[in-house]
A and B are shown apart, each in its own frame.
Chain A
Amino acid sequence: MSLSRVGVYVCHCGTNIAANVDVARLAEFARSLPGAVLARDYPYMCSDRGQALIREDVSEQALDRVVVAACSPRMHEPTFRDAVRQAGLNPYMVEMANIREQCAWVHDDRARATEKATRLVASAVARAVLLEPLEERQVDVEPGVVVIGGGIAGLAATLTVAEAGYSAYLVERSGSLGGRVRELDRTYPTLDKVQVVLRELVSRVAAHPNVTILLRSSVTSVDGCVGDFTVEVKTRGANLGEGVDASRDSQTLVVGSVIVATGFDPFDPRRKPELGYGQYPSVITTLELEQRLAAGDLGDNGAAPRRVAFLQCVGSRDVQVGNPYCSRVCCMVVAKQARQLRGLMPDAEITVYYSDVRTFGKGAEEFYDETRAQGVLYRRASVSEIVRSQNRVRLVGEDTLLSRAIGVEVDLVVLATGMEAGADSASLSAMLRLQRSPDGFFLEAHPKLRPVDTATAGVYLAGCCQGPKGIADTIAHAKAAASSALIPLLRGSVQADAATAIVNPALCANCGLCVEECPYGAPALDPFRGVATVNALLCQGCGACAVVCPAKAISLQHATACQVLAQVDALMA
């Protein structure tokens, strides 16, 4: 084996790294490492100039491997792979040392952070010396998108995909489109009729020639990877009319991307029994009031309520029920409903019991001010209990501004119930390999920079399945998800990860343990050659097979035992 020529690049990341790590000393140390022929430190390695530096060195100094000590490889590994590819090296000949997220940002002590960074760089160089070029595969991208969930997010995403000229398959569990939004009366802060907005969107989606709508359908499995997903969809009772059968026919869709738009579940206020929901008919939710407003019938046998109380934050910002987060929409929903009631019942006393009012967004604060100007009372309070009081109910609690007990009899209580992750998000997360945040909603790939991407390439999030949102934010999120989902389709082909398992036939004893260990059926025993072989198209690159192989004949490329053990040695040197 010829001696390797590693170039090491230490990034300052402005002062992000340089403030806590002595980058000049780190570069000097790197020069002493076996295999390293040069080391430089530079303000921003990811900048055009930084990448050009690598390209120049590769050609002028005949580097064959590159180590970049900078941010997390989850951030810029693709950037530097591209840079070395342009320089004529195999893109797998680059290794990153994570000295920002896992060093400079978490250790205040400059001396100790620098010391740790030297070990991380030594580990990266030790591994780089053992890297091998891998052959990249191009996967043709199927020109379609499956959208799971036919609510407002799924509809907006579907329409965007269809209008870009690609096939969109909209899979909806229920028998109709529109989701939760079908239950709403008017939008905030513009007081538009929601159903008019929804109807227009549904009719545009339904009429679009690129759209296939699958109602009463659910996704039962998703296989494959970005560019080439195989999605199984099961449809329930497609033709019930003839009474022939409730045939459960399933179909297979092959698409390039998947958009998850499965929405939320409203919080069930029966989980807070002290509020009397389900017990007293005059305690209802904002969703139920919305339906009554839409129907133009406030209920209560026509006797209009004289005193109405809204309760904010029911099931939100409540650690006791396991929902510490804010549901984002309830403050404005209440301000809007209170305004609507004020218009319908000019003489009624309408009070909103809140702990904090959060009316962010365009026109929202102005709307809230106007609601108060129209005589809706806001009282900062903590309501502990709702009890029966003859034919009314009694609110018991504390006014938290006056530190005074509250006991008010009211005719109608409206609970502003928050949003929760959908009940089926656990099964979906297993099927699509999606991660969830502690609140149960699906986790985006990056809270700022990749708000609709997921850890699984080719799978995107739209709307409330990622976290509570209002209609405007949901549509913005859905259109962003659709745009991102279109990227692989527009490119036409994607690079599949080449870091798959490989068998050394000289060592393989044909025992079949790797076949048993693999969840994807990638390794198989070749009956003619008497050895295991790996189907690279099926291999997902987890590396479980390499651990069970008694002969160490099978290994995961780019994470071989040799490479890992060299890292251990370098970290402990």
Chain B
Amino acid sequence: MSECQFDPTIIAFLCNWCTYTGADLAGTSRIQYPPNVRIIRLMCSGSVDPTYVLKALLDGADGVLIGGCHPGDCHYESGNYKARRRIIALKEILQAAGYDEDRIWVRWISASEGQRFADTVTQMTQAMRDKGPNPLRREWEV
């Protein structure tokens, strides 16, 4: 069945200090996870502009992961709180427009949580596979 074979693409915006380093740790620990995630390294989750997320969705990403430091552990004091506030607002707008806001995941993963990063990608890949392709991909394809 074609639905079972659907292979989602996930764009991840990860902060340099925690989640990106956690992803590196998953690598040095050789923890395997699906290759569906494609990572963009930013200095802070607080610098994730909601337009980046929209751009990824409009480009056809089936899921967008925003990874930052745990609350209270931000390298820049409060960037992760800013990210949380912005993404909640973005999700509400998307929801109001009838779009499945659960394609956007925000997760706090520290530099020491390689396993948690791998688990998150594994879970998200499965969740996006279950949802099927991002409908925006079809609409925007000419």
Q: What is A's interface to B at a CB cutoff of 8 Å? A: 72-74, 98, 100-103, 105-109, 112-113, 115-116, 119-120, 123, 426, 429-430, 433, 435-438, 443, 447, 455-456, 499, 517, 519, 540-544, 546-547, 556, 559, 561, 564-565, 567-569, 571-572
Contact = CB atoms under 8 A, between A and B. Distances in A.
A130 to B, nearest CB: 14
Given A435-B18, A438-B112, A564 B52 contact: yes
Contact of B112 (A73, A109, A443): A443
Given A74-B20, A101-B23, 9 more contacts: A438-B112, A443-B110, A542-B76, A543-B46, A547-B86, A561-B49, A561-B51, A571-B40, A572-B60
Contacts of A455: 17, 21, 75, 111
A112 B112 CA distance: 27
Contacts of B111: 435, 443, 455
Contacts of A98: 24, 39, 41
Nearest to A101: B27
A102 B23 contact: yes
A171 B31 CA distance: 41
5 contacts: A101-B24, A455-B75, A547-B49, A564-B40, A565-B52
Nearest to A543: B47
Given A72-B27, A519-B78, A106 B21 contact: no
Nearest to B42: A559
A547 B82 contact: yes
Contacts of A433: 75
A100 B33 CA distance: 14
Contacts of B49: 546-547, 561, 564
A69 to B, nearest CB: 14
A540 B32 CA distance: 34
B121 to A, nearest CB: 9
Classify chain B: how many residues form its interface, as a range.
35 or more
Contacts of A112: 35
A435 B17 contact: yes
Nearest to A122: B38
B68 to A, nearest CB: 11
B12 to A, nearest CB: 10
B48 A103 contact: no
Contacts of B78: 519
A542 B39 contact: no
A547 B47 contact: yes
Contacts of B11: 568, 571-572
B103 to A, nearest CB: 14
Nearest to A497: B43
A569 B30 contact: no
A461 to B, nearest CB: 14
Contacts of B17: 435, 455
Interface in B55-74: 55-56, 59-61, 69, 72-73
Contacts of A517: 82
Interface string B102-140: 000000001111000010000000000000000000000
Contacts of B47: 542-544, 546-547, 556, 559
Contacts of A106: 26-27, 30-33, 35, 118
Contacts of B20: 74
Contact of B38 (A426, A499, A564, A571): A571
A568 B56 contact: yes
